[in-house]
Chains A and B, each alone.
Chain A
Amino acid sequence: MYIIVVGGGRVGYYLTKALLSEGHEVLMIEKNATVSKTIADELGSVCLHGDGCEAATLDGAGTARADMLIAVTGDDEDNLVACQVAKHKFNVPRTIARVRNPQHEAIFKKLGIDVTVSSTNIILEHIEHEVPSHPLMHLLTISDKGLEVVEIKIPAGSASVGKTIKELSLPPESILSLIIRKERKPIVPTSNTILKAEDQVVAVTPPESEDALRAALIGR
């Protein structure tokens, strides 16, 4: 697979090394001449000095035959432009962008970037998994459908405890798909299922309805 990595920072450098060790044909594009030369001295002819946002640079890099372009510069805007030029001018089948500001993720997806990777969100997800008291955990992102699978633990004293699901003000796009009770018994919920304290509810929801879902189930 021919993979182009835009950005020769630490992420780009280690990503390039890892992809090379997996046997892929990799080319890194780095704007800074000194950094580019240092990487070329160490890794060989896999680093091209140039601006990965410019069509001329991407053309010289053979982007038209690339299977994937990964933009991992420190600027969200540069990553967006590099991916968009690759996608729309060179028809690269798969584009991946690093996103520093998690609020940009939705915009990137709307603009046609296939995959976004937000280090902030990844760390947050780890915190959610590692800290049991955290009420909402992201289990899975179904990026092509714009949905997320989340798990919400119903705390004792929550407003939803003792209520049936039909009594809750759930956002219309969100669906509760599974409830795991204290005794580890999974239940497929119906509209008459009564929520209990310590229930673990697995729900499918669009990211924008996440707060409303959390409020409906936890009552905060």
Chain B
Amino acid sequence: MQFNKILVPVAGTKADEEAMELACTLAGAKNKGLIFAVHVIPVERSLPLDSEIESEIGRADSILAHTELLAQEQGCRIETDLLQAREVGPAIIDEAIEREVNLILIGVSYKKHFGQFSLGDVVPYVLKNAPCRVILYHQRKS
């Protein structure tokens, strides 16, 4: 199966790096596919959506720069984007629709909530609402 437009949401975790490597493999080298790496900054409702949160923006820029470097090392075409939204899940879905991607690839690290493994809020939302195929890259429990 060929994926020529892949959306990879990144949050700066180790799982993201491995997901990015997988995205490069799926996209194929030699400029076959295009990867869109996005980082979403959730903005509290006490602030306007377009407010500039310097600390978050600085962190997001370094995450995206690192992701871009990883893709370039693999010889992949990549575009990065920084989004601000009230909720992360809907922002990812909107981006997938707007860019007409045919795959969303998400790196998932092992998280526990009240002693139980949890996927959090974002992944279930994406799985439920995605307009395309979704691959979860689950990082091995350390």
Contacts and interface: CB of A to CB of B under 8 A. Distances in A.
B85 A45 contact: yes
A178 to B, nearest CB: 48
B90 A27 contact: no
B7 to A, nearest CB: 18
Interface stretch (B42-50, B54-62, B103-111): B42-50
A62 B85 CA distance: 15
Contact of A27 (B45, B47, B85, B87): B45
Contacts of B85: 45
Q: Output the residue of A25, A44, A64 with the most chain B CB within 10 A.
A: A44
A159 interface: no
B114 to A, nearest CB: 19
Interface string A44-73: 110010000000000111101100000000
Q: Is the interface of A mostly helix, strand, loop or mixed?
A: mixed
A170 to B, nearest CB: 52
A180 B85 CA distance: 58
B138 interface: no
A62 B90 contact: no
B46 A62 contact: yes
B89 to A, nearest CB: 9
A138 B90 CA distance: 47
Contact of A25 (B44, B46, B49, B87): B49
Contacts, number: 22
B86 A65 contact: no
Interface residues of A, number: 12
Interface residues of B, number: 10
Interface in B104-126: none
A59 B47 CA distance: 11
Nearest to B85: A45
A65 B46 contact: yes
A27 B86 CA distance: 11
A91 to B, nearest CB: 14
Interface string A82-124: 0000000000000000000000000000000000000000000
Q: Output the residue of A27, A45, A62 with the most chain B CB within 10 A.
A: A45
Contacts of B47: 62, 65
B121 to A, nearest CB: 12
Contacts of B48: 2, 25, 65
Contacts of A45: 85-87, 90
Contacts of A48: 45
A78 B45 CA distance: 22
B41 to A, nearest CB: 14
A49 to B, nearest CB: 12
B139 to A, nearest CB: 28
A200 to B, nearest CB: 51
Interface in A24-56: 25, 27, 44-45, 48
Nearest to B89: A45
A128 B88 CA distance: 51
Q: Output the residue of B45, B47, B85, B90 with the most chain A CB within 10 A.
A: B45
Interface of B: 44-49, 85-87, 90
Interface of A: 2, 25, 27, 44-45, 48, 59-62, 64-65
Closest CB pairs A-B (n = 6): A62-B45, A62-B46, A45-B86, A45-B87, A45-B90, A61-B45
